Amino acid sequence: MPSALILLADGTEEMEFTITYDTLVRAGIACCSAYVQENSGSEKPLYATGSRGIRIVYDTVFDEQTVNTSYDVLVIPGGAKGAETMSTNTAVQALVREFLGKDDKIVGMICAGSLTALSSKLPRQPLTSHPSVKAQLEDDFDYSEEPVVISKNLVTSRGPGTAFPFALTLVELLCSADKRAEVRAPMVFPANTPF
Protein backbone atom coordinates (compact mmCIF):
# COMPACT_ATOMS: atom_id res chain seq x y z
CA MET A 1 0.00 0.00 0.00
CA PRO A 2 1.42 3.41 -0.94
CA SER A 3 1.92 5.94 1.84
CA ALA A 4 1.90 9.72 2.09
CA LEU A 5 3.42 12.20 4.50
CA ILE A 6 1.38 15.41 4.47
CA LEU A 7 2.87 18.40 6.26
CA LEU A 8 0.89 21.10 7.99
CA ALA A 9 1.63 24.11 10.16
CA ASP A 10 -0.25 26.95 11.74
CA GLY A 11 -1.59 28.91 8.78
CA THR A 12 -1.87 25.94 6.40
CA GLU A 13 -4.69 26.31 3.85
CA GLU A 14 -7.34 23.92 5.10
CA MET A 15 -8.83 22.87 1.75
CA GLU A 16 -5.44 22.03 0.27
CA PHE A 17 -4.61 19.87 3.28
CA THR A 18 -7.95 18.14 3.82
CA ILE A 19 -8.90 17.56 0.16
CA THR A 20 -5.50 16.04 -0.54
CA TYR A 21 -5.52 13.91 2.62
CA ASP A 22 -9.10 12.72 2.08
CA THR A 23 -8.63 11.93 -1.62
CA LEU A 24 -5.50 9.90 -0.94
CA VAL A 25 -7.27 7.95 1.83
CA ARG A 26 -10.13 7.18 -0.58
CA ALA A 27 -7.53 5.61 -2.88
CA GLY A 28 -6.27 3.35 -0.08
CA ILE A 29 -3.10 5.36 0.49
CA ALA A 30 -1.92 5.37 4.11
CA CYS A 31 -1.60 9.01 5.20
CA CYS A 32 0.28 10.60 8.07
CA SER A 33 0.07 14.31 8.88
CA ALA A 34 3.13 15.90 10.45
CA TYR A 35 3.01 19.25 12.24
CA VAL A 36 5.89 21.61 11.43
CA GLN A 37 6.48 24.02 14.30
CA GLU A 38 7.23 27.66 13.61
CA ASN A 39 9.70 27.76 16.51
CA SER A 40 11.22 24.37 17.24
CA GLY A 41 11.81 25.14 20.92
CA SER A 42 8.24 26.18 21.65
CA GLU A 43 5.58 24.03 23.29
CA LYS A 44 3.73 21.76 20.88
CA PRO A 45 0.01 22.58 20.56
CA LEU A 46 -2.58 19.81 20.39
CA TYR A 47 -3.62 20.89 16.89
CA ALA A 48 -2.65 23.12 13.99
CA THR A 49 -4.74 26.23 13.37
CA GLY A 50 -5.33 26.64 9.65
CA SER A 51 -5.42 29.84 7.61
CA ARG A 52 -9.18 30.22 8.21
CA GLY A 53 -9.00 29.35 11.89
CA ILE A 54 -10.06 25.71 11.52
CA ARG A 55 -8.28 23.42 13.97
CA ILE A 56 -6.70 20.27 12.56
CA VAL A 57 -5.41 17.51 14.82
CA TYR A 58 -2.15 16.14 13.44
CA ASP A 59 -0.80 12.58 13.58
CA THR A 60 2.77 13.41 14.57
CA VAL A 61 5.18 16.29 14.99
CA PHE A 62 7.65 16.82 12.16
CA ASP A 63 11.01 15.74 13.51
CA GLU A 64 14.22 14.82 11.69
CA GLN A 65 14.45 11.59 13.67
CA THR A 66 10.88 10.36 13.12
CA VAL A 67 10.09 11.65 9.63
CA ASN A 68 11.96 10.04 6.77
CA THR A 69 11.72 8.88 3.17
CA SER A 70 9.91 5.64 3.96
CA TYR A 71 6.78 7.32 2.55
CA ASP A 72 6.05 7.29 -1.18
CA VAL A 73 4.95 10.92 -1.41
CA LEU A 74 5.66 14.09 0.54
CA VAL A 75 2.93 16.75 0.30
CA ILE A 76 3.43 20.43 1.14
CA PRO A 77 0.19 22.45 1.15
CA GLY A 78 -0.01 26.22 0.97
CA GLY A 79 -1.49 28.98 3.04
CA ALA A 80 0.82 31.96 3.38
CA LYS A 81 1.89 31.55 7.01
CA GLY A 82 2.02 27.75 6.90
CA ALA A 83 3.96 27.76 3.64
CA GLU A 84 6.47 30.21 5.10
CA THR A 85 7.00 27.98 8.14
CA MET A 86 7.55 24.91 5.95
CA SER A 87 9.65 26.56 3.25
CA THR A 88 12.06 28.11 5.78
CA ASN A 89 12.50 24.90 7.76
CA THR A 90 15.91 23.43 6.88
CA ALA A 91 14.81 19.89 7.79
CA VAL A 92 11.84 20.18 5.40
CA GLN A 93 14.17 21.47 2.68
CA ALA A 94 16.52 18.53 3.23
CA LEU A 95 13.63 16.05 3.11
CA VAL A 96 12.39 17.56 -0.17
CA ARG A 97 15.84 17.15 -1.73
CA GLU A 98 16.11 13.61 -0.37
CA PHE A 99 12.72 12.61 -1.78
CA LEU A 100 13.46 14.13 -5.17
CA GLY A 101 16.82 12.35 -5.25
CA LYS A 102 14.99 9.02 -5.41
CA ASP A 103 13.28 7.93 -8.64
CA ASP A 104 10.47 6.11 -6.81
CA LYS A 105 9.41 9.06 -4.60
CA ILE A 106 7.09 12.01 -5.32
CA VAL A 107 6.91 15.49 -3.85
CA GLY A 108 3.67 17.44 -4.19
CA MET A 109 3.49 21.18 -3.53
CA ILE A 110 0.36 23.28 -3.87
CA CYS A 111 -0.28 27.03 -3.69
CA ALA A 112 2.39 28.91 -1.71
CA GLY A 113 3.78 25.51 -0.74
CA SER A 114 5.72 25.75 -4.02
CA LEU A 115 8.02 28.27 -2.31
CA THR A 116 9.69 25.22 -0.79
CA ALA A 117 11.04 24.41 -4.26
CA LEU A 118 12.88 27.73 -4.18
CA SER A 119 14.14 27.49 -0.60
CA SER A 120 15.23 23.89 -1.22
CA LYS A 121 17.29 25.16 -4.17
CA LEU A 122 15.73 22.77 -6.64
CA PRO A 123 17.05 22.99 -10.21
CA ARG A 124 15.16 24.95 -12.84
CA GLN A 125 12.14 22.97 -14.03
CA PRO A 126 8.44 23.41 -14.82
CA LEU A 127 6.42 24.52 -11.80
CA THR A 128 3.27 26.40 -10.77
CA SER A 129 1.95 28.04 -7.61
CA HIS A 130 -0.63 30.44 -6.28
CA PRO A 131 -0.52 33.73 -8.24
CA SER A 132 0.48 35.59 -5.05
CA VAL A 133 3.94 33.97 -5.06
CA LYS A 134 4.49 33.79 -8.84
CA ALA A 135 6.93 36.72 -8.80
CA GLN A 136 9.15 34.91 -6.30
CA LEU A 137 9.35 31.78 -8.48
CA GLU A 138 9.21 32.76 -12.14
CA ASP A 139 12.88 33.79 -12.45
CA ASP A 140 14.16 30.47 -11.11
CA PHE A 141 11.66 28.04 -12.67
CA ASP A 142 9.81 27.51 -15.94
CA TYR A 143 6.61 28.98 -14.55
CA SER A 144 3.25 27.68 -15.78
CA GLU A 145 -0.32 28.65 -15.05
CA GLU A 146 -1.69 25.16 -15.66
CA PRO A 147 -3.77 23.78 -12.76
CA VAL A 148 -1.30 20.92 -12.16
CA VAL A 149 2.28 20.70 -13.41
CA ILE A 150 4.29 17.47 -13.37
CA SER A 151 8.08 17.70 -13.63
CA LYS A 152 9.54 14.21 -13.24
CA ASN A 153 8.69 13.41 -9.61
CA LEU A 154 7.71 16.96 -8.57
CA VAL A 155 3.99 17.79 -8.80
CA THR A 156 2.85 21.38 -8.24
CA SER A 157 -0.54 23.04 -8.27
CA ARG A 158 -2.14 26.47 -7.86
CA GLY A 159 -4.53 26.77 -4.91
CA PRO A 160 -7.69 25.60 -3.14
CA GLY A 161 -9.62 25.43 -6.42
CA THR A 162 -7.07 23.02 -7.92
CA ALA A 163 -6.81 20.79 -4.84
CA PHE A 164 -8.99 18.05 -6.38
CA PRO A 165 -7.03 17.70 -9.65
CA PHE A 166 -3.80 17.93 -7.64
CA ALA A 167 -4.86 15.13 -5.29
CA LEU A 168 -6.26 12.98 -8.11
CA THR A 169 -2.98 13.38 -10.02
CA LEU A 170 -1.12 12.09 -6.97
CA VAL A 171 -3.52 9.12 -6.83
CA GLU A 172 -2.82 8.35 -10.48
CA LEU A 173 0.95 8.58 -10.04
CA LEU A 174 0.94 6.48 -6.86
CA CYS A 175 -1.66 3.92 -7.96
CA SER A 176 -3.01 4.07 -11.52
CA ALA A 177 -5.31 5.92 -13.90
CA ASP A 178 -7.96 3.31 -13.11
CA LYS A 179 -7.71 4.08 -9.38
CA ARG A 180 -8.00 7.80 -10.14
CA ALA A 181 -11.21 7.16 -12.09
CA GLU A 182 -12.54 4.89 -9.35
CA VAL A 183 -11.92 7.52 -6.64
CA ARG A 184 -13.23 10.40 -8.77
CA ALA A 185 -16.56 8.84 -9.82
CA PRO A 186 -18.39 8.86 -6.45
CA MET A 187 -17.24 12.43 -5.77
CA VAL A 188 -19.95 13.48 -8.27
CA PHE A 189 -18.23 16.40 -9.97
CA PRO A 190 -20.52 18.41 -12.30
CA ALA A 191 -20.71 17.14 -15.89
CA ASN A 192 -17.81 18.30 -18.07
CA THR A 193 -15.52 19.05 -15.10
CA PRO A 194 -12.14 19.06 -16.88
CA PHE A 195 -10.19 16.85 -14.49
Instruction: Just list the catalytic residues.
Output: 16, 111, 130
How far CA 86 is from CA of 36, 83, 96, 131, 192, in Å, comes to 7, 5, 11, 19, 36
CA 133 from chain centre, in angstroms, equals 16
Asked if 157 and 146 touch (Cβ cutoff 8 Å), the reply is: no
